[in-house]
Structure 1
């Protein structure tokens, strides 16, 4: 999707579960008619967290915060690339 995205990235062990959660939500993006990413469908989050055995209010809250951080960064990067014509 991103032409300049690396083939592999390093992930610190303490962030791995959040990255897996974010990856599992990859098909849950809301897209505007213009093609811009709006954000992830949060209603899918509890189902995916259950499937990944993410339990406990505090753990879920932390994972949600981590996921939102990644969502914001990816949305900005992809939308900026789309403005530049996909390059």
Structure 2
């Protein structure tokens, strides 16, 4: 499995040594049952550390830079990210593969809206 992940990163343009070093730095936290936690009702921290694959990092960065650019509906709920602002941020930061980034941004936006609606 580890070799496949290195190969995937190399196909994305990463140097093999850098890919292996990056994977080695991504230590996953043990599952609660591995820690001996007995209560299944304990909720883990939803804002705890998580892994972002290198090919997704630029989209995550774009999403985070747009956190103040949400459009709001009259009922006080978020409607979505202002796409004009997204385009401006991508252009100002000279981000490459903007169409791919825009699709990824929309996927994260949709997931965020679904999660916010559940609250």
Q: Which residue of 2 aligns with 1:67?
A: 105
Point out which structure has higher relative CO (alpha carbons under 8 A, 6+ apart): 1
Q: TM-score, normalised by structure 2?
A: 0.58
RMSD, aligned α-carbons: 1.4
Q: Which residue of 2 aligns with 1:15?
A: 56
In structure 2, distance between residues paired with 1:52 and 1:16 = 14
Bigger drift between 67-76 and 29-38 goes to 29-38
Structure number with larger C-alpha Rg: 2
Q: Tell me the number of residue pairs that the alignment of Structure 1 and Structure 2 aligns.
A: 75
In structure 2, distance between residues paired with 1:16 and 1:6 = 17
Q: TM-score, normalised by structure 1?
A: 0.78
For residues 16-36 of structure 1, the C-alpha deviation after alignment (integer angstroms, 9 at most, x for no partner) is: 000000101100101112222
